[in-house]
Amino acid sequence: MRSKTIGVAGLALLVAGVAFARARPAAAQELEPPRPRQGYYVSLGLHGMTSQVSEKGESLGPWTGFGGTFRFGQLVTRRFGLGLSVEDGRTSGEGQKASIGALGLEASWELIRNLAVRGGVGIGFVNLHNPKDPDESPTRGVTGSWYSLGVAYDFFPSKKRLTGGPSITPTVQARFVPGGDTSAFVAYFGVELGWWTGLPKNQLELPESEAYKKKK
């Protein structure tokens, strides 16, 4: 079952990568009105986390903790974005601990200005540890495909740039890691600090006064 779920994640990553490669040339042919949420992005996030694990029919949790994320990617069209996400975190409760990590492909769709739905698929793990159990298996937990869904809103505090700039992004997301005897659900809520590169002038709809203005 584990190899099957990993295969599903790999196939989804491949399909999304092909879609990304095909979409980029089409997107570059159209001029875009300038706005902050454009181009490539990179961000670092700090999140509170809650985990709920089902192990051999027994519910472990909710456990709480903290984690971090690293994300980068780009807008492929005006609303649709693709990127990669790396996540790491820890939760604890009932005298036990959980280590959580994930690597995956993330897609986003802007519903209204700066508010986007995020969905992802990748490979992740939730490793469980009970310090009071000397015979505990080091591989206790679940490893395999994970699936995510969430929402995020990008605030752009700087008004000096026509396109791109720094962003502050509150976000709420959920992760699910299915498995046989063990499966896990993890919820994230926190803030990301990011940077958007924006688009070059030859890809923007600009009045002549802006299009030919020299940089200071």
Where in the chain does DSSP place strands (E)?
A: 40-55, 58-75, 80-93, 96-112, 115-129, 141-153, 165-177, 182-196
What b-and-e string marks burial along 180-211, b requiring 16 or more CB atoms within 10 Å of the CB? eebbbbbbbebebebbbebbeeebbebeeeee
Q: What is the pLDDT of residues 106-155, one digit of tens each?
A: 999 999 999 999 999 999 999 999 999 999 999 999 999 999 999 999 99
Predicted TM-score (pTM) of the model is: 0.80
Concatenated DSSP letters for 50-103? Answer: EEEEEETTEEEEEEEEEEEEEEEEEESSSSEEEEEEEEEEEEEETTEEEEEEEE
Domains annotated on the chain, with CATH: 2-30+38-202 (2.40.160.20)
Structure confidence by residue, pLDDT tens digits, 14-55: 445 545 544 444 444 578 889 999 999 999 999 999 999 999
**CB count in 10 Å sphere of residue 30:** 10
